[in-house]
Amino acid sequence: MASGFQGRGAEPRTRMLLREAEKPLTLSPSALQKEMSLTTKQRLARSKKLHLPLIVQPQDEHETSHHKFSAADPKQSSLLPCPAEVVFQNYSPGEVCEMPVVLRNRDKVPLLVKVILESSPYFQLEMPSNVYCKVPPGLSVTVRILFSPGQNKDYFHQLLCITETEELIVPIRAIGARAILDFPDELDFSECPVKYSTQKTLLVQNLGNRAAHYQLSTQSPFFVIPATGTLGIGDSVQVTVGVLPLRTGDCSTSLVVHYDTGEDTHTSLHGRAVDANIRLDRNAVTFQKTYVTLSNRAAVLIHNLSDVTACFQWTAVDTEGEEDLLKLRQYRRLCQQTKDNLSDSLKECGVDSTGQECFALLTHSLQSERAKVRGDAMLFCDGIFSLEPKEGEIRPKCSAEISVFFKPQEARLYQQAVYCDISGRENRLPLHLIGEGLGPRLCFNLKELNIGEVCVSTNNRYEVILFNTGPAEALFILLPPATAMGSFFTFLPQEGIVAPYRLQAIRISFHPTVMGEFQEEFCFHVTGSPKPVTLTIRGRVTGPTFHFDVPALHFGDVSFGFPRTLKCCLSNTSMAPMAVKLHVAGDGSGALSIDSFAQMRRHSNQSWRKEARGPRGPVDAKEFIISPCGATVRALGSEFFNVTLCSNTVREYQLELVVDVIGVGNKWLTLPLTARCIVPALRLLNPVVSFEQCFLKFPYKEKVTLVNDSDFPGCYRVLSQERKEKAAAWYSSSEPSGIIEAHSSVEIPITLEAQQLGECNVTAEVAVFGREGSPLEFHLECMAHGPVVSIDPEKINFGAIRVLEDRSKIVHLKNHGDIPAPFWVKMHCRISPAEKGRFIGGGYTGGTSHGVGSVAAPLAGEAARKGPWLGAEWDVLPAGGDICERLENSFEKRFDFLYIGWLQLLELVKASPDTVDSFVFVDKASGVARKHSRWRIEPTKGVVLPKSEVLVTVTGNLNDTKQFKDRMKVFIENSHPTIISVQAVGTGPTIVTDKPLGSVLDLTTHFSFSPCRYRFNVTNKGRRVHRLYWSTEGFSVSGQSARLPALRGTKSRDASRDHRAGSSVFKVRPQQVDLRPRQTVEMVLEGCSSTAQEVKEWLLCYATVGKEIEKKQIMQVDVTCKFIHPVVETSSREITFHVEKKPSDVLALQYQPLSLKNVCSLPFSIVLDLEQPFRICNVDQQPLPAGSKPMMLDVGEELHLCIQFDPAYEKDLNSRVAERALRMRFMEHPHEEQITVRGEVYFPNLHLQAEAVDFGCIINRTEQELHMEMTNCGPIPAQYHWSFLTDPHVNTIRFKPSPPEFKRQSSKKGGFPRRYSKTESVEGPSETPKTIQNSAQQPADAEDSLKAGALSSTAVEPQKPVRKKRLGQISKVKHPKPGMQEVFDVQPLWGELQPGESQLVTFTFFGHDNIVARVTALCHVEGGPTYEVVVTGEASPLATNWMWKKWTEGCSPTSALLN
Q: Find out whether 1231 and 1053 touch, Cβ atoms under 8 Å.
A: no
pLDDT in tens, 275-286: 899 999 999 999
Q: In sequence order, which ranges of 433-496 are alpha helices (DSSP H)?
A: none
Alpha-carbon span 1336 to 1334, nearest angstrom: 5
Confidence class for position 1328, pLDDT limits 50, 70, 90: very low
Which stretch of 7-11, 132-136, 429-433 has the lowest confidence by average pLDDT? Answer: 7-11
Alpha-carbon gap, residue 478 to 533, rounded angstroms: 9
- Each residue of 235-252: b (16+ CB within 10 Å) or e? eebebebbbbbeebeebe
- When pLDDT is cut at 50, 70 and 90, the band that residue 1397 belongs to is very high
SS3 237: strand
CB 713 within 8 A of CB 740: yes
pTM for the predicted model, two decimal places: 0.39
pLDDT the model gives residue 58: 52
Distance between CA 1135 and CA 1176 in Å, rounded? 12
**φ, ψ dihedrals at 906, nearest 5°:** -65, -40
pLDDT (0 to 100) of residue 640: 92
Res. 1311: pLDDT tops 50: no
Q: Report CA-CA distances (Å) from 450 to 89, 206, 479.
A: 118, 103, 21
Share of residues in the chain with pLDDT > 90 (%)? 30
Question: Who's near 1254: CB < 8 A, 6+ residues apart?
Answer: 1355, 1356, 1357, 1358, 1432, 1433
Closest by CA position to 698, among listed 821, 581, 790: 821
What SS3 class is residue 1183? strand
d(CA 122, CA 148): 5
What CA–CA distance (Å, rounded) separates 168 from 1098? 94
Taking the CA of residue 1430 as centre, how many other CA atoms within 13 Å lie in the half-sphere pointing to its CB?
Answer: 21
Q: What is the DSSP letter of 371?
A: H
Whether 1265 contacts 1317, CB under 8 Å: yes
Spatial separation of the C-alpha atoms in residues 314 and 425, rounded to whole Å? 14
Q: Is 1350 exposed, middle or buried (0-12, 13-18, 19+ CB in 10 A)?
A: exposed
Contact residues for 229 (Cβ-Cβ < 8 A; gap 6+): 212, 214, 216, 237
Calpha distance 502→468 (Å, rounded): 5
| pLDDT score of 976 | 83
CA dist 854 and 850 (Å) reads 10
Instruction: Give the 3-state secondary structure of 40-108.
Output: HHHHHHHCCCCCCCECCCCCCHHHHCCCCCCCCCCCECCEEEECCCEEEECCCCCCCEEEEEEEEECCC
Mean pLDDT of the region 177-184: 92
Q: How many CB atoms lie within 10 A of CB 670?
A: 13
For 873-977, list the strands marked E by DSSP.
Answer: 874-878, 919-923, 928-930, 935-938, 941-944, 949-956, 963-972
Task: Find out whether 1038 and 1053 touch, Cβ atoms under 8 Å.
Answer: no
Model confidence at 765: pLDDT above 80: yes
Residue 603 has pLDDT above 50, yes or no: yes
Neighbours of 1204 (CB within 10 A): 20
Task: Tally DSSP H helices, then E strands, for the chain.
Answer: 14, 98
| Res 841 pLDDT > 50 | no
Q: Is the peptide bond before 1011 cis (omega within 30 degrees of 0)?
A: no
Starting at the edge strand found earlier in the chain, the sheet holding 460-468 runs 442-444, 460-468, 503-510, 489-492
> What local confidence, expressed as pLDDT, does residue 1305 receive?
40
Cβ atoms of 1432 and 1365 closer than 8 Å: no
Q: Euclidean distance between the first and final Cα of the chain, in Å?
A: 65
Q: Which amino acid is at 1101?
A: C
Mean pLDDT of 931-938: 78
Question: Which ranges in 845-893 belong to alpha helices (H)?
Answer: 857-863, 883-890
User: How confident is the model over 40-86, as pLDDT tens digits?
Assistant: 888 888 765 555 554 444 555 444 454 545 555 666 778 888 888 88
Which H or E run contains 598?
helix 596-600
List, in order, residues 6 or more apart from 119 with CB less than 8 Å away: none
Cis link prior to 1288 (omega < 30° from 0)? Answer: no
Coil, strand or helix: which one is 485?
Answer: helix
**Mean of pLDDT values over 851-866:** 37
CA 561 – CA 623 distance, rounded (Å): 10
DSSP state, residue 1196: T
d(CA 206, CA 1024): 113
Identify the pLDDT of residue 829.
54
Measured CA to CA, the distance from residue 212 to residue 233 in angstroms comes to 8
Q: Residue 1272: helix, strand or coil by DSSP? A: coil
φ/ψ of residue 1445, rounded to 5 = -65, -45
636: Cβ contacts below 8 Å, ≥ 6 apart: 572, 573, 574, 575
Per residue, what are the HEC states of 303-370? EECCCCCEEEEEECCCCHHHHHHHHHHHHHHHHHHHHHHHHHHHHHHCCCCCCHHHHHHHHHHHHHHH
Longest C-alpha distance within the chain, in Å? 191
pLDDT tens-digit readout, 769-822: 888 888 889 999 998 888 888 898 889 998 888 888 889 999 999 998 888 989
Highest mean pLDDT among 21-30, 1249-1258, 1323-1332, 1335-1344: 1249-1258
**Would the pLDDT of 1303 be above 80?**
no
Q: What is the pLDDT of residues 673-717, one digit of tens each?
A: 999 998 898 899 888 988 888 888 889 899 999 999 998 899 999
C-alpha span between 702 and 693 (Å, rounded): 13
Given pLDDT bands bounded at 50, 70 and 90, which one contains residue 438?
confident
Query: Of residues 20 and 1063, which shows the higher confidence score?
Result: 1063
Cα angle for residues 424, 428, 432 (degrees, 5° grid): 135
- The H-assigned helical ranges of 212-302 are none
pLDDT digits (tens, 9 = 90+) for 404-427: 999 988 888 899 899 998 988 988
Query: Residue 891: pLDDT above 50?
Result: no
Closest C-alpha among 518, 580, 307 to residue 423: 307
Residue 1314 has pLDDT above 60, yes or no: no
1209 close to 1173: Cβ distance less than 8 angstroms: yes
> With 50 as the cut, is the pLDDT of residue 1062 above it?
yes
Q: What is the pLDDT confidence band of residue 873, given thresholds at 50, 70 and 90?
A: very low
Which of 968, 964, 942 minimizes the C-alpha distance to 954?
968
Instruction: Say what the alpha-carbon torsion angle 1156, 1159, 1160, 1162 is, to the nearest 10 degrees.
Output: 60
Question: What are 1447-1456's contacts with CB under 8 Å, separation 24+?
Answer: 1447/1259, 1447/1363, 1450/1360, 1451/1360, 1451/1363, 1452/1359, 1452/1360, 1455/1318, 1455/1360, 1455/1362, 1455/1363, 1456/1362, 1456/1365
CB atoms within 10 A of CB 61: 17
Least confident of 322-336, 1344-1358, 1373-1387: 1344-1358
Query: How does DSSP classify residue 1364?
Result: P
Say yes or no to pLDDT of 238 above 80: yes
Mean pLDDT of 1190-1203: 91
H or E element that contains 1248: strand 1247-1248
DSSP 109: S
Tell me 686's DSSP state: -
- Containing 1382, the helix (H) or strand (E) segment is helix 1380-1383
